[in-house]
Amino acid sequence: MMAMEPLLKVENLKKYFPVRGLFRTIGYVKAVDGVSFEINRGETFGLVGESGCGKTTTGRTILRLIEPTSGRIIFDGKDVTKLSGEEMKAFRRRAQIMFQDPYSSLNPRQTVFEIIMEPVRFHGIPVDDPEEFVIDLLESVGLNEMHLYRYPHEFSGGQRQRIALARLLALKPEFIVLDEPTSALDVSVQANILNMLKDLQKKYGFTYLFISHDLGVVKYMSHRMGVMYLGKLVEVGPAEKIFENPLHPYTQMLLSAIPVPDPELAQELKRKRMKIEGEPPSPINPPKGCRFHPRCPRVMDRCKKEEPPLVEVEKDHYVACWLYAKS
């Protein structure tokens, strides 16, 4: 049987932002610098790293909310960077984003009904009974018809994220970028929203790119994951495998910094426990060789000169580190 094509393939994606001096461009912030990964249909791929590592820019560039500098973004077999106007409109319906801040993502002057119906009308999706349509959507995210004509300020943060989600569901998307969707919420509310996202994925077969700085949440949500550092992916693999056996020194540092409920894993991580030394260097002038070398406790001479490629170290588990290189 032929393996199913992934829904999304990102190939050598780059996004550089110019740094302007008085009269000319004096450099570039290499926010995303040659990132490649795939997401299978119905899968959640987690993207994790410290703030400023490029994970949010990666998500927005994939949706072309930000234009890529170079690279290919293949969605359902087509290169998103080369779509015509009509094809782009269809892509915008099929691929959605849920933002972190539920307070700024909803128009305060619109009622819930208007908020949900606006994109439906924009995309020309036929709806027989708009009220019934919106009530169904509200019920699928745990709200109800009482909320139909209320305004965003009348809701809590968690309820606003539910409204934002109902608006996405109205377009029947296949792919959703979840950009820190619960980091602005209380812990108890976070769990409800994350469980709802999982249930909706099961029900509708959604494919998610889940972006977060919170490793615990990424582990809970993701089938596979990628760890980003200074615009590069340094480790990619099944989430369980990476949590059980993190191979890249940066991933080991990130993991050793979070509380671990599993006593065996805690023991294992204790052995490897390291401090996260220093701040990430500037993405304008990233270090030569391995970008992590100024902070890496296992740095070798080679690391300062040559950049390690992302290679498969064990089945489906990729690492960019000279400790695992065969040559």
**Both structure tokens of 138:** 């509200």
CB nearer to ligand SF4: give 90 or 300.
300
Q: Is 135 in the site for ligand SF4 (CB under 6 A)?
A: no
Contact window for ligand SF4 (CB under 6 A) among 42-50, 58-66, 261-269, 296-304: 296-304
Q: Is 15 in the site for ligand SF4 (CB under 6 A)?
A: no
Q: Is 280 in the site for ligand SF4 (CB under 6 A)?
A: no
Quick check: helix, strand or coil at residue 48?
A: strand
Q: Is 290 in the site for ligand SF4 (CB under 6 A)?
A: yes
CB nearer to ligand SF4: give 77 or 278.
278
Dmax over CA atoms of the chain, in Å, equals 68
Contact window for ligand SF4 (CB under 6 A) among 95-103, 144-152, 162-170, 316-324: 316-324
* Stretch 191-230: interaction string toward ligand SF4, x if CB under 6 A: ----------------------------------------
Q: Which amino acid is at 207?
A: T
Q: Is 246 in the site for ligand SF4 (CB under 6 A)?
A: no
From the CB of 300, what's the least distance to ligand SF4, in Å?
Answer: 6
Give the total of residues touching ligand SF4 (CB under 6 A): 14
Q: Is 298 in the site for ligand SF4 (CB under 6 A)?
A: yes
Q: What angle do CA 232, 223, 166 make, to 5 degrees?
A: 95
Torsion of CA 81, 27, 279, 32, to 10 degrees: 10
Q: From the list 303, 310, 313, 318, which residue makes contact with ligand SF4 (rule: CB under 6 A)?
A: 303
User: Could you tell me if 36 and 99 are in contact, meaning their C-beta atoms sit under 8 angstroms apart?
Assistant: no
CB nearer to ligand SF4: give 48 or 170.
48
Which of 212, 154, 208, 206 is CA-nearest to residue 181? Answer: 212
From the CB of 184, what's the least distance to ligand SF4, in Å?
Answer: 32
In angstroms, the CA 310 to CA 315 distance is: 13
Q: Is 296 in the site for ligand SF4 (CB under 6 A)?
A: yes
Torsion of CA 135, 131, 99, 243, to 10 degrees: 30
Q: Is 46 in the site for ligand SF4 (CB under 6 A)?
A: no
Q: Across the chain, where does the E strand assignment appear?
A: 8-20, 25-39, 44-48, 70-75, 78-79, 95-98, 175-179, 207-212, 224-229, 232-238, 311-314, 317-319
Residues that bind ligand SF4 (CB under 6 A): 248-249, 290, 292-293, 296, 298-300, 303, 308, 321-323
